[in-house]
Amino acid sequence: MLFETFSAGGCRSYLVGCERTRAAVLIDPELSLSDHYRGFLLQNGLSLRYIVDTHTHADHFSAGRSLSKAMGAPVVMHRLSPAPHAELRLDDGDMLVAGDLKLKALHTPGHTRDSMCLVLGDRAFTGDTLLIGGTGRTDLPTGDPHALFDSLFDKLLKLPGETLVYPAHDYKGRSHSTIADEIATNPRLQKTERAAFVAMMRDLDLAAPTHLTEALRTNMSGGKTVAQLLAEAAAVVPFMALAELDDRLGANSADLVVIDLREKEAFEAGHIRGALHLPRGQLELRVNTALPDPTARIVTCCEFGKISTLAAATLRELGYQRVTALDGGVAAWREAGLALDLPG
């Protein structure tokens, strides 16, 4: 068996491959590591058979949907997953077969309603159900400490003690543990009575994950992250350097239109000379009257260069093919010491 661990911060993902057939399974992929997975598959002559998310992640962005579209492998989740892009849904005890590899799904709710673990030979991929020296939290949407107690003590911890534990997270650089080690040393597993375990989980008082809302939104729906939207917009939009725009304004370029997308207060606090004020929220509604010439050369700007990138991509979709975005935005213009005009 080919086996590789990938890390992004505290997030862990795993790729297992059959040496005979070169079929591979990717477990809990993280969006920022997409190119790393592709590189490993290519370097080792592997064909991706399945992409598995062990649960609906609330603390990072799954690469499942984007990799599925790019590589043609189905996203696999438990049948209770809310994700519409999960093409293959597993029940407790179902098995994935990839060449000589057989991965058995164990439904282990508690961290989330759709949590599952995968058992492959001598190892278990435990998602966020069982961590090294800890367990998944139960205070996020669909979490349930009673269900986690059952999943741990009535199912996962009954695996052979020598079973290797590979969790979806570890923040201390540890690669794996064993079921026996976790039973003996994991502080949360010392609470073997249901009431004590549930009370402990409810009293943890943990901070919310950094990307909670965005991660849940994208992982549950298959939607896009803000970073993805910006990257896609940047891929279809050229940019203009601060010095280039300053030179063109100094030359009184007749065919250049600068659009300032900020709100009125920001615009009136200082704007690039000659800029047309067109707030981003009004762009589509006012574009035909504000920009009557679709052949004009347009430069969009905002405070930091992100909204202007999105707006430039929108204008290109609307047929304005000579649109560019100001690199760095008005903030960079200001920091460079370039002149800003005030109303009147």
Please state which architecture CATH assigns to domain 2-223.
Answer: 4-Layer Sandwich (3.60)
CATH 3.60.15.10 placement within the chain: 2-223
pLDDT at res. 211? 73
Which whole-number Å values give the CA distances from 18 to 97, 134, 185, 329, in the listed order? 10, 31, 33, 50
pTM: 0.72
Task: Look at the block and give the residue holding tokens 């057939």.
Answer: 21
From CA 17, how far away is CA 316, in angstroms rounded?
43
From CA 92, how far away is CA 269, in angstroms rounded?
61
Which strands form 276-277's sheet, in the order they lie side by side?
A: 239-240, 323-326, 297-301, 256-260, 276-277
pLDDT at res. 207? 80
Which whole-number Å values give the CA distances from 257 to 143, 150, 193, 277, 334, in the listed order? 53, 64, 70, 11, 19
CATH 3.40.250.10 placement within the chain: 228-335
Distance between terminal CA atoms of the chain?
Answer: 72
pLDDT at res. 147? 97
Instruction: Return per-residue pLDDT of the chain as tens, 344 residues.
Output: 999 999 998 899 999 999 999 999 999 999 999 999 999 999 999 999 999 999 998 877 888 989 999 999 999 999 999 888 899 999 999 999 999 999 999 999 999 999 999 999 999 999 999 999 999 999 988 999 999 999 999 999 999 999 999 999 998 889 899 999 999 999 999 999 999 999 999 999 888 776 777 777 787 777 788 888 888 899 999 999 999 999 999 876 677 999 999 999 999 999 999 999 999 999 999 999 999 999 999 999 999 999 999 999 999 999 999 999 999 999 999 999 999 988 76
Sign of the Cα torsion 148, 150, 156, 158 reads positive
Q: Among the CATH numbers 3.20.20.120, 3.30.450.20, 3.10.20.30, 3.40.250.10, which is that of 228-335?
A: 3.40.250.10
pLDDT at res. 60? 77
Dihedral angle, C-alpha 205, 206, 211, 214, nearest 10 °: -40
pLDDT at res. 2? 96
103 forms beta bridges with: 96
